[in-house]
Amino acid sequence: MWLPCGCTSKYVASSFARRILASHLHVSGRSRCNVAAFMPEAAGFEGVSGRAALRELSVSNSESFWAAVARHRLSWSIPFHTVQDCDLSRGKIKWFEGGKLNVSVNCLDRHVHTCPERVALIWERDERGSEMKYTYRELLEMTCRVGNLLRRHGVKRGDCVTIYMPTCPLAVASMLACARIGAAHNVVFAGFSADALAERIRDAQSSTVITVNQGVRGGKVIELKKTVDTAVESCPTVKQVFVAMRTDNPVTMTARDIAMEEEMLKEDVVCEPAVMNSEDVLFLLYTSGSTGKPKGLVHTQAGYLLYAALTHRYVFSYHDGDVFGCVADIGWITGHSYVVYGPLANGATTVLFESTPIYPDPGRYWDMVERLKINQFYGAPTAIRLLLKYGDQWVNKYDRSTLKTLGSVGEPINTEAWEWYHRVVGDGRCPVVDTWWQTETGGICIAPRPSDPDAEIVPGMAMRPFFGIKPVLIDTEGELLTSNNTSGALCMAQPWPGMARTIHNNHQRFIETYFQPYPGYFFTGDGAYRSEEGYYQITGRLDDVINVSGHRIGTAEIEDVVNQCPAVAESAVIGYTHSIKGQGVYAFVVLKKGIDVKEADLSRQLNGMVSEKIAKYASPDFIQFAQRLPKTRSGKIMRRVLRKVVESDLEGLGDLSTLDDPAAVQEIIQEQSVLS
Ligand code: WTA
Q: Does residue 36 register a pLDDT over 80?
A: no
Q: Evaluate the omega torsion of the peptide bond into residue 79 and state whether it is cis, within 30 degrees of 0.
A: no
The amino acid sitting at 19 is R
Q: What is the mean pLDDT of the chain?
A: 92
The amino acid sitting at 72 is H
- In the prediction, which pLDDT does 143 show? 98
Phi, psi angles (nearest 5°) of residue 159 = -70, 165
Distance CA 535, CA 555 (A): 30
- Cα 249 to ligand 1 centroid, rounded to whole Å: 37
ipTM confidence score: 1.00
Q: Does residue 19 register a pLDDT over 70?
A: no
Distance CA 394, CA 414 (A): 21
Spell out the residues 6+ positions from residue 178 whose beta carbon is closer than 8 angstroms to its own.
Answer: 150, 155, 161, 184, 185, 283
- Cα 643 to ligand 1 centroid, rounded to whole Å: 20
Phi, psi angles (nearest 5°) of residue 215 = -100, 165
Of the residues 411, 513, 524, which should be mutated to test ligand 1's pocket, given the most ligand atoms within 8 Å of the CB?
411
What is the band of 640 on the pLDDT scale with cuts at 50, 70, 90? confident
What is the band of 12 on the pLDDT scale with cuts at 50, 70, 90? very low
Distance CA 661, CA 589 (A): 18
Phi, psi angles (nearest 5°) of residue 286 = -85, 140
Half-sphere exposure of 662 (CA within 13 A, CB side): 6
- 154-181 mean pLDDT: 98
Instruction: Please give the number of the atom of ligand 1 that sits closest to the Cα of 540.
Output: 19
Instruction: Please give the number of the atom of ligand 1 that sits closest to the Cα of 446.
Output: 15
- Cα 375 to ligand 1 centroid, rounded to whole Å: 23
| Chain segment 303-333, per-residue pLDDT in tens | 999 999 999 999 999 999 999 999 999 999 9
What is the band of 624 on the pLDDT scale with cuts at 50, 70, 90? very high
Largest CA distance in the chain: 80
Among 27-31, 289-293, 337-341, which is the least confidently predicted range? 27-31
Instruction: Please give the number of the atom of ligand 1 that sits closest to the Cα of 334.
Output: 5
- Cα 437 to ligand 1 centroid, rounded to whole Å: 5
- In the prediction, which pLDDT does 545 show? 92
Of the residues 286, 299, 332, 437, which should be mutated to test ligand 1's pocket, given the most ligand atoms within 8 Å of the CB?
437
| Chain segment 448-498, per-residue pLDDT in tens | 999 988 899 999 899 999 999 999 999 999 999 999 999 999 999 999 999
Q: Is 348 exposed, middle or buried (0-12, 13-18, 19+ CB in 10 A)?
A: buried
Distance CA 113, CA 21 (A): 8
- In the prediction, which pLDDT does 635 show? 79
Q: Does residue 17 register a pLDDT over 60?
A: no
Q: Does residue 49 register a pLDDT over 80?
A: no
| Chain segment 186-225, per-residue pLDDT in tens | 999 999 999 999 999 999 999 999 999 999 999 999 999 9
Q: Which of 49, 48, 59, 40 is nearest to 467 (CA)?
A: 59
Phi, psi angles (nearest 5°) of residue 572 = -140, 130
Cβ atoms < 10 Å from Cβ of 19:
17
- Cα 443 to ligand 1 centroid, rounded to whole Å: 11
What is the band of 29 on the pLDDT scale with cuts at 50, 70, 90? very low
Pairing of strands 582-591, 622-626: parallel
- Cα 447 to ligand 1 centroid, rounded to whole Å: 12
- In the prediction, which pLDDT does 467 show? 97
What is the band of 34 on the pLDDT scale with cuts at 50, 70, 90? low
Q: Does residue 503 register a pLDDT over 60?
A: yes
Distance CA 284, CA 159 (A): 11
| Chain segment 376-386, per-residue pLDDT in tens | 999 999 999 99
Positive or negative, the CA dihedral 521, 522, 523, 529 is negative
| Chain segment 230-253, per-residue pLDDT in tens | 999 999 999 999 999 999 999 999
- 664-672 mean pLDDT: 87
CA nearest ligand 1 atom 25, residue: 438
Phi, psi angles (nearest 5°) of residue 673 = -65, -30
How far is the CA of 194 from the CAs of 170, 201, 288, 301, 581, in angstroms?
Answer: 21, 10, 17, 29, 24
- Cα 539 to ligand 1 centroid, rounded to whole Å: 11
CA nearest ligand 1 atom 22, residue: 438
Instruction: Please give the number of the atom of ligand 1 that sits closest to the Cα of 545.
Output: 19
CA nearest ligand 1 atom 13, residue: 412
Q: Which residues line ligand 1 (CB under 6 A)?
A: 287, 332-334, 409-412, 434-439, 462, 524-526, 538, 541, 547, 552
- Cα 436 to ligand 1 centroid, rounded to whole Å: 6
Instruction: Please give the number of the atom of ligand 1 that sits closest to the Cα of 462.
Output: 15
- Cα 356 to ligand 1 centroid, rounded to whole Å: 20
- 270-290 mean pLDDT: 96
Q: Evaluate the omega torsion of the peptide bond into residue 116 and state whether it is cis, within 30 degrees of 0.
A: no
